[in-house]
Amino acid sequence: MKKWGFLLILVGFIGLADVNNVPFFQDRIKIQQYEQYDMAPSEERGSSETIENIEITKEQIYQGSLLLVNKEFPVQQESIRRDVVNLAEHNELIRGYSLNDNGILLSEEVAQKFSEMVAGAEKEGIYHFSINSGFRDLAEQSALFQELGADYALPAGYSEHNLGLSLDVGSTKMKMNEAPEGKWIEQNAWKYGFILRYPKDKVDITGIQYEPWHIRYVGLPHSAIMQEKHFTLEEYLDYVKEEPNISASVEGEKYTISYYPISKATTITVPKNVHYEISGNNIDGVILTVQE
C-alpha cells in the first residue's frame, strides 16, 4: 500500500484534535497529539483488507526496546534479549571502536546500531570510542553489587545492563564528561535510536547520578521525541500514556505511537502492509509504533 493511501486511512481512524507542531533541528521532527480512538475494526474505520487483529498477551508487557528498568521495576526473565552475543567473536560488529575486554556481551541488533553511530561520528572527526561494559547476566550483576556496594552498582535484576539494550561507552583519550566523544553522544545519539539514560539534570527522576557514558537503545522515533522534549525514559513513558496517540515525523519518516494498557490477553488492530513494532513498558501495557 502506498504511504499516502495509508495516511488517508490513518486520518480516518483518528480524527484530528488539538495539534502542536514542535520543530526540531530545522524541522527534521514534528510531533502531534491526537484524541484517543478505538482501534477495533468497523466499517467506518477500515475493512479487513486494510487492517488486521493481533493478540497481545500479558507477557508482552515485559518484552521490547522501551522497557523501563529502575529501582521500582526489575528485569523479568522474558525481558532479556535473546540475540546477545560476544562482541569479540564478531569482528563485523566492532568496526571503528575498541573493546575494554574480550568478554563484553551485547544485543546483536544494538551492536549494529552502535556501529552505525560510530561510523556517523567518524564522518565528523570523532574517532576514539570504546565499549567498557554491555550485557551482564544476573550472577555477574550480583557479584558487581557485592564488590562495589549500593553507591556504585545496582542489585541483580535492577540494572539496565541485565537487558542487553544498554552499554557503557568510553573514550580512549579522556574521561567521557570531558571527551569529544561524550559531547557528540549527547547531541547525536538520538539519530541512531540511543538515549543518554542518566542526564545531569534529571537525577531526581532517574534516581541515578549523571553518567555521560551510559547509553540505552530505545529506537526511532522514540529517541528523537525524547531528545526534542528533553525526556528521560520515565518521563517519556508517562507522556505516551497521557497522549495515547502521537504522530511524529522524523527526517521525512512518519510514525504513529499508541499506548494500550494490558491486564490480560487482548486484541488490538493494526494496519496491514506497513511496518510496526510492539514493545512493552515493563509496567502495565504496550506501545504500538506504526511506520507509515
User: Per the residue annotation, which of 52, 108, 116, 211 is the catalytic one?
Assistant: 211
CB 140 within 8 A of CB 195: no
Residue 254 forms beta bridges with which residues?
A: 249
Q: What is the mean pLDDT of residues 21-32?
A: 52
Which has more pLDDT, 88 or 16? 88
Residue 273 is predicted with a pLDDT of 86
Residue 152 is predicted with a pLDDT of 81
| Amino acid at site 121 | A
Cα gap 106→113, rounded to integer Å: 11
Name the band, by pLDDT with cuts 50, 70 and 90, for residue 29.
Answer: low
Q: Kindly state the DSSP code that residue 255 receives in the 8-state scheme.
A: E
Q: Is 55 a catalytic residue?
A: no
Helices (H), 180-278: 180-188, 203-206, 222-229, 233-242
Rounded (10°) CA dihedral 38, 40, 43, 45: 50
- Is 9 a residue whose pLDDT tops 80? no
Q: Enter the C-alpha cell of residue 87.
A: 562482541
11-60+230-291 is classed CATH 3.30.70.20 = no
Residue 98 is predicted with a pLDDT of 96
Residue 45 is predicted with a pLDDT of 43
CB 20 within 8 A of CB 32: yes
- Is 34 a residue whose pLDDT tops 80? no
Looking at the domain 81-217, which fold is it? Muramoyl-pentapeptide Carboxypeptidase; domain 2 (3.30.1380)
Q: Enter the C-alpha cell of residue 100.
A: 575494554
Residue 54 forms beta bridges with which residues?
A: 268
Name the band, by pLDDT with cuts 50, 70 and 90, for residue 149.
Answer: confident
pLDDT in tens, 247-264: 999 988 999 999 999 988
Q: What is the mean pLDDT of residues 259-282?
A: 92
Which has more pLDDT, 13 or 214? 214
Quote the mean pLDDT of the chain.
86
Residue 28 is predicted with a pLDDT of 59
Q: Kindly state the DSSP code that residue 179 receives in the 8-state scheme.
A: S
Domain with CATH 3.30.200.180 in the chain: 11-60+230-291
- Is 7 a residue whose pLDDT tops 70? no
Residue 64 is predicted with a pLDDT of 97
CA 143, 145, 147, 153 torsion-angle sign: positive
Q: What is the mean pLDDT of residues 109-120?
A: 97
pLDDT in tens, 192-251: 999 999 999 999 999 999 999 999 999 999 999 999 999 999 999 999 999 878 999 998
Residue 50 is predicted with a pLDDT of 85
CB 25 within 8 A of CB 245: no
Residue 265 is predicted with a pLDDT of 83
Q: What is the mean pLDDT of residues 173-191?
A: 96
pTM of this structure: 0.85
| Percent of the chain whose pLDDT exceeds 90 | 72
| Percent of the chain whose pLDDT exceeds 70 | 84
Q: What is the mean pLDDT of residues 153-170?
A: 95
Distances (CA, A) of 80 to 67, 90, 255: 10, 20, 26
Residue 151 is predicted with a pLDDT of 80
Count of C-beta atoms within a 10 Å radius of residue 283: 15
Residue 251 is predicted with a pLDDT of 85
| Amino acid at site 58 | K
Cα gap 120→125, rounded to integer Å: 9
Domain with CATH 3.30.1380.10 in the chain: 81-217
